[in-house]
Amino acid sequence: MIEVQDVTFAYPGNSVPALAGINLCVEPGEFLAITGRNGSGKSTLARLLNGLLRPKAGRVLVDGLDTADEASLVDIRRRAGIVFQDPDNQLVAATVEDDVAFGPENLGLPPAVIRQRVAASLAMVEIEALKDRPPHLLSGGQKQRLALAGILAMEPQYLILDEATAMLDPVAREEILGRVLELRRARGLAVILITHLMEEAVLAERMLVLSAGRVVLAGPPPAVMLQGERLAAVGLKVPVTVALGHILRRAGLQLPAGPVTAEELAEALWKLVSQK
Ligand SMILES: Nc1ncnc2c1ncn2[C@@H]1O[C@H](COP(=O)(O)OP(=O)(O)O)[C@@H](O)[C@H]1O
Ligand SMILES: [Mg+2]
């Protein structure tokens, strides 16, 4: 479990905190989305979750290990891996394959295990064909796949994706997220999806909306989606499928309030039609 307890954080020289009074629990195997407009504090929160930043007040515990405890940081980062929006800061080696091997090598794993993890991770994000290439020559989307492979090879318990597929096209983005969610089902990996795309956030079991460094809404996506005005007030729009549901209800259709994805809306409409 990752526990964020009354956390406040301010960047040096900045009197306004980037995050204030944050409380959050991430259970093993959970799928949580964190959303909010640009500058709301999402990336700061991501960095607090695995000790890249330490709270100014409050505590962050990863499976009971305090991120303020220097001696626990290696263990914490092995458990909670972050993939960032900008992959350039995350790529370190001369070839794609070596880059993915870097993390497992630092864990001191036997070479055979490292080879197996590298191959599995490259396959997961479908960049096996690029394994001998130098990372700096890859496209933005390929670099994002590589950064994800590097973290997956560490076999974390918590995977934090901070706008980590932003450089991919929508089809590839959905495919990669699908792979990650398969891994969640297979291994009980917890997924913390940080995104400003509401269409993505509603796929999670639970979502959290940040605004100006505070949690302004939290709950299962269907419940959060009912708060259209509060979302609009913090610069967010409900996905088009949710908006369409609202319009159809206002027009008199007996649609339930729940559907948030196109599939769910289609299913609700189908039920309605087939009842008649
Ligand atoms: N390295 C930094 N130094 C100073 N201020 C920062 C730094 N990174 C982010 N901030 C500020 O902290 C706030 C939250 O930023 P961030 O966590 O990056 O938000 P988001 O990821 O939601 O866009 C913003 O006001 C931003 O300007
Ligand atoms: Mg960010």
Residue 169 in this model has a pLDDT that exceeds 80? yes
Average pLDDT over residues 16-25: 97
Output the average pLDDT for the chain: 94
Average pLDDT over residues 242-266: 89
Mutation test of ligand 1: which of 43, 89, 209 has the most ligand atoms closer than 8 Å to its C-beta?
Answer: 43
**Pair 80, 130: CB distance under 8 Å:** no
CB 43 near ligand 1, within 6 Å: yes
Cα 38 to ligand 1 centroid, rounded to whole Å: 9
| Residues facing residue 160 across a β-bridge | 82, 192
- Report which bound ligand comes closest to the CA of 36: 1
Query: Whole-angstrom Cα distance, residue 50 to residue 239?
Result: 30
**What digits encode the pLDDT tens for the residues 35-66?**
999 999 999 999 999 999 999 999 999 999 99
Cα 41 to ligand 2 centroid, rounded to whole Å: 7
Gap between the terminal Cα atoms of the chain: 47
Coil, helix or strand for 137? helix
Determine which helix (DSSP H) or strand (DSSP E) holds 178, and give its type and residue range.
helix 170-187
Determine which helix (DSSP H) or strand (DSSP E) holds 199, and give its type and residue range.
helix 198-201
Instruction: Give me the torsion for CA of 17, 19, 22, 26, rounded to 10°.
Output: -150
Residue 147 in this model has a pLDDT that exceeds 90? yes
Average pLDDT over residues 224-243: 91
Q: Buried b / exposed e across 68-77, counting CB within 10 Å, b at 16+?
A: eeeebbeebb
Coil, helix or strand for 163? coil
How much is the pLDDT for 98?
96
| HSE-up (13 A, CA, CB side) for residue 146 | 32
**What digits encode the pLDDT tens for the residues 67-96?**
999 999 999 999 999 999 988 888 889 999
- Tell how strand 206-211 and strand 190-194 pair up: unpaired
CB 143 near ligand 1, within 6 Å: no
Cα 17 to ligand 1 centroid, rounded to whole Å: 10
**What digits encode the pLDDT tens for the residues 115-129?**
999 999 999 999 999
Query: Whole-angstrom Cα distance, residue 50 to residue 36?
Result: 20
**What digits encode the pLDDT tens for the residues 99-109?**
999 999 998 99
Query: Whole-angstrom Cα distance, residue 115 to residue 105?
Result: 10
Nearest residue by C-alpha to atom 12 in ligand 1 = 18
Among residues 35, 33, 4, which one has the least CA distance to residue 21? 4
CA-based angle 131:156:55, to the nearest 5? 120
How much is the pLDDT for 112?
96
**CATH architecture classification, 2-238:** 3-Layer(aba) Sandwich (3.40)
Determine which helix (DSSP H) or strand (DSSP E) holds 275, and give its type and residue range.
helix 262-275
Query: Whole-angstrom Cα distance, residue 27 to residue 4?
Result: 12
Residue 21 in this model has a pLDDT that exceeds 80? yes
How much is the pLDDT for 276?
67
Cα 198 to ligand 2 centroid, rounded to whole Å: 15
Determine which helix (DSSP H) or strand (DSSP E) holds 82, and give its type and residue range.
strand 80-83
CB 14 near ligand 1, within 6 Å: yes
CB 196 near ligand 1, within 6 Å: no
**What digits encode the pLDDT tens for the residues 174-233?**
999 999 999 999 999 999 999 999 999 999 999 999 999 999 999 999 999 989 899 999
**Which of ligand 1's atoms lies nearest the C-alpha of 46?**
17
Residue 214: burial class (beta carbons within 10 Å; 0-12, 13-18, 19+): middle
Share of the chain above pLDDT 90, in %: 82
CB 275 near ligand 1, within 6 Å: no
CB 41 near ligand 1, within 6 Å: yes
CB 38 near ligand 1, within 6 Å: yes
pLDDT level of residue 13 (50, 70, 90 thresholds): very high
CB 42 near ligand 1, within 6 Å: yes
Average pLDDT over residues 151-169: 95
CB 18 near ligand 1, within 6 Å: yes
Q: How far is CA 90 from CA 6, 85, 111, 179, in A?
A: 29, 10, 22, 21
Q: For the chain, what are the domain ranges?
A: 2-238
Among residues 25, 2, 26, 31, which one has the least CA distance to residue 181? 31
Query: Whole-angstrom Cα distance, residue 241 to residue 199?
Result: 9
Query: Whole-angstrom Cα distance, residue 122 to residue 97?
Result: 8
How much is the pLDDT for 217?
97
Q: Which tokens is 155 given?
A: 């076999």
Residue 246 in this model has a pLDDT that exceeds 90? no
How much is the pLDDT for 204?
97
